[in-house]
């Protein structure tokens, strides 16, 4: 099986793997999925991810949501996004990107490309397919907004409830976030829907090695929870957990192409709250302090 054959017959991938007709090398796949590097007969490589054996049942439409998001982001022809070569019920196979070190020049270029991606826009907040963030459902029911109300209802409240139900947050913590939800329209910054990655923490930028498509060190966007959202959300989450390398240069490149609205830096903790609440909903109290810190910082502005 070579790459051209697989593109023409993606459904044959499972049979070839079952009969060990493709060389597989395990690679890191993140906290949810298993991952392997597939080496085809023509020397081409693919990144394949699947649902782990023995894990709880895979959520319906889990890989379909990721494939839809990758294709939608890629269709903007702005930032580098891996091609989906084969979409199956039990996994995905996509373009392999050889990893390499990040550089300030690559980060600045990614900032410009991310601005172009966001500017491609979306018809509404949400998306035309059901979404996932991690293994949790992501309500993508299309909405015309306004953005603050949509963000509070679809991106904050559901994960706050889950975090309260699993006792990751105390009653006082929940009340703190509820204050933000109640007054969310006062923080400003509302904009029309942008085409966003939706889960753009630093680990979801893959830096390419020299000689890879697009040039040395170019940043690729992977593992999206793509939808129509607010462009500031992607930039805010890039600053989480130590921040993406050369964040200052990335932001400088972004501002060259599409300057951000006034006061955007003060809104960073608001946009970070979504992903932080996803983490308390998924992983429990280990992320409680981060939620409280973001909420407190926002309320002190």
Start-to-end Cα distance in the chain = 58
Contact criterion met (CB below 8 Å) for 190 and 148? yes
- Distance separating alpha carbons of residues 268 and 274, to the nearest angstrom: 11
Residue whose C-alpha is closest to residue 143's, from 229, 71, 225: 229
Contact criterion met (CB below 8 Å) for 132 and 65? yes
DSSP SS3 for 251? helix
Burial (CB count <10 Å: 0-12, 13-18, 19+), residue 75: exposed
Q: Cα 229 to the chain's mean position, in Å?
A: 12
Phi and psi torsions of 87, nearest 5°: -115, 115
For 111-150, b where at least 16 C-beta lie within 10 A, e where not — what string? bbbbbbbbeeebebbbbebbbbbbeebbebeebebebbeb
The active-site residue out of 173, 199, 223, 234 is 199
248 part of the active site: no
Phi and psi torsions of 248, nearest 5°: -60, -40
Question: Cβ neighbours of residue 165 under 8 Å, at least 6 residues apart?
Answer: none
- Which of the residues are catalytic? 199
């Amino acid at each position: 099986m070579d790459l051209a054959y697989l593109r023409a017959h993606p459904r044959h991938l499972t049979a070839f793997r079952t009969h060990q007709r493709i060389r597989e090398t395990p690679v890191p796949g993140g906290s949810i999925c298993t991952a392997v590097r597939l080496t085809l007969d023509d020397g081409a490589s693919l990144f394949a991810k699947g649902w782990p054996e023995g894990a709880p049942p895979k959520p319906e439409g889990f890989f379909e949501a990721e494939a839809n998001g990758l294709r939608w982001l890629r269709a903007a022809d702005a930032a580098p996004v891996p091609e989906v070569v084969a979409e199956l019920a039990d996994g995905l196979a996509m373009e392999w990107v050889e990893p390499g070190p990040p550089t300030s020049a690559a980060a600045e270029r990614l900032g410009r490309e991310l601005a172009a991606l966001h500017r491609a826009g979306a018809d509404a907040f949400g998306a035309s397919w059901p979404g996932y963030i991690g293994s949790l459902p992501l309500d993508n029911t299309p909405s015309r907004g306004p953005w603050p109300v949509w963000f509070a209802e679809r991106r904050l409240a559901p994960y706050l409830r889950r975090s309260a139900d699993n006792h990751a947050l105390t009653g006082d913590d929940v009340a703190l976030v509820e204050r933000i939800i109640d007054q969310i329209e006062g923080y400003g910054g509302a904009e029309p829907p942008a085409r966003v990655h939706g889960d753009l923490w630093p680990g979801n930028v893959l830096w390419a090695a020299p000689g890879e498509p697009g040039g040395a060190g170019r940043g690729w966007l992977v593992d999206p929870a793509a939808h129509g959202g607010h462009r500031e959300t992607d930039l805010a989450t890039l600053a989480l957990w130590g921040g993406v390398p050369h964040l200052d240069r990335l932001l400088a490149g972004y501002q060259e192409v599409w300057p951000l609205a006034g006061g955007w830096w003060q809104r960073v903790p608001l946009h970070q709250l979504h992903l932080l609440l996803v983490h308390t909903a998924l992983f429990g109290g280990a992320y409680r302090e981060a939620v409280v810190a973001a909420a407190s910082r926002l309320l002190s502005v």
